[in-house]
Amino acid sequence: MTATTCAPVFDANNTPTVPAAFWEHFVSLSHDKTQPVVLEQGALIEPLLSLEDAFDLARNVVESGDMTVNADGQMLKQPAVPGFPRAFDGFEQFVRDFAALNHADGITFTRDYCLKHSGTVATKLRAFTHGYSERYGMPYPGANAVFIGGRYRSTWIGLHNDSCDTFLFPLYGRKRMMIWPPAYFDEMALEKKSALNGVCFGHIDVTPYAADATIYEVGPGEIFFIPAGWWHYNKLDELETTLTVSVGMFSHGTAQGFCENPIKAAMVSRAGTALTGAIAQVPGGVFESLADVALPLPVAQFVDSIRDNSKIQMLLKLSANGIIRDRTLGRPGGAECWQRVVRARADSPLYLLALDQEAGLLFAGGAMLRVQPLPAVRALINVLQGGAPITLAEALPEQAGNEHLHSVVRWLYEQAAIDVFT
């Protein structure tokens, strides 16, 4: 396979499309995602994420204060934080000042579920995870993107594994990752601690196990894949500065986890707060199954509400390959979508749910919009689902003056569910 077959295609919106050839290459090298592998820079001629993307994400994380800070292996409850630099050339000094202010040599600042801090990174990772989801299904509870920045010698939480397939994107700095297979530590008397995404041994001395580790050197622009359950530890000889994004694809969700948020939503809804009143007496007898037992109407409506909320949650996640971001972050512009060439993105399937004859719910890019009139929106979705570039003014000339439909198209563009071309 030549590198050119795997180049991401950047359109006028600077949104990449990762070709199927990249994922065929990945499946081959990783033995169908069962082995760790470094995907070289040539696998994607242009990196999926840029250094500017990572720097802007770092700025948003730091300036929001929404981060976990670790200094020389110790979590800080109230870290001292210097001002974030305006340009990347000040980042090295920033992390050095960050460490010095907290009386440490090394410093790490991280944020799980970081995509709420960057719509750009969320959109690009959604494009990336599309190929994974096509082959393996969308993992549930979805994808956890983690931002990792700082200056350190070793993994800030120590030796650990993750219960998700992990794609590591170092955008600045390098990784020297020590890797052990899932069963390697099974018989060893090491204290296991629960971590956010797996099991952690902490900052133990890994020297006794170093001879059995496989070392992977990962540089900026490369992608490092770690299958679920594999133990890993980043160990550098000296302090090095890093900007990294890690994407975990989870597939170990439970039915309880699936329904937890829908149940909470139903509990505070009208169905959840409805009074049941007295329950009518049921004559004694023989039931062939529980299907013959009728629940009180308010209880049945509450159960239906949980079911409906669960389906809505599933559609939200499916429409974004599990990548969910803050709803306030979208692509600006799109005012002239109707007159320009547009195309639906394969990595953002569109779902339209009819509520009645006139209104419905539209799902795109992990967001939901109530729409009407339903027949017009249905026609719009049908022409977009064709997948070919079209001009809506030509495809739907009878809707040229429908401002409501125009606003739906602009919303689809803002969610990066469609691309617009000159």
Q: Residue 4 — very low, low, confident or very high, per pLDDT cuts 50/70/90?
A: very low
Return the amino acid letter for 5.
T
Same domain, 61 and 162: yes
Same domain, 369 and 244: no
> 214: helix, coil or strand?
strand
- Residue pointed to by tokens 């992977």: 216
- How far apart are the C-alpha atoms of 155 and 343, rounded to whole Å? 42
Residue 311 lies in a domain: no
- HSE (CB half, 13 Å, CA atoms) of 193? 11
Same domain, 65 and 199: yes
How much is the pLDDT for 10? 44
Residue 264 lies in a domain: no
State the total domains in the chain.
2
Residue 132 lies in a domain: yes
Residue 231 lies in a domain: yes
Domain of 355, CATH number, reads 3.40.366.30
Boundary-marking domain end, from 250, 266, 291: 250
Same domain, 155 and 24: yes
pLDDT in tens, 175-226: 999 999 999 999 888 887 776 678 888 888 899 999 999 999 999 999 999 9
Q: Are 159 and 206 in contact (CB under 8 A)?
A: yes
Boundary-marking domain end, from 250, 283, 308: 250
| Cis peptide upstream of residue 141 (ω within 30 degrees of 0) | yes
Residue 320 lies in a domain: no
Q: Domain range for residue 352? A: 337-421
pLDDT in tens, 63-120: 999 999 999 988 999 999 999 999 999 999 999 999 999 999 999 999 999 999 998 8
Q: Residue 334 — very low, low, confident or very high, per pLDDT cuts 50/70/90?
A: low
Domain of 9, CATH number, reads 2.60.120.650
Ramachandran category for residue 276: left, alpha or beta (phi over 0 → left; psi -120 to 50 → alpha): alpha
How much is the pLDDT for 5? 41
Boundary-marking domain end, from 224, 250, 276: 250
Residue 292 lies in a domain: no
Residue 321 lies in a domain: no
Return the amino acid letter for 205.
D
Position with higher pLDDT, 349 vs 14: 349
Distance (Å) of CA 207 to CA 153, 178, 221: 15, 11, 29
How much is the pLDDT for 197? 76
Residue 141 lies in a domain: yes
How much is the pLDDT for 1? 33
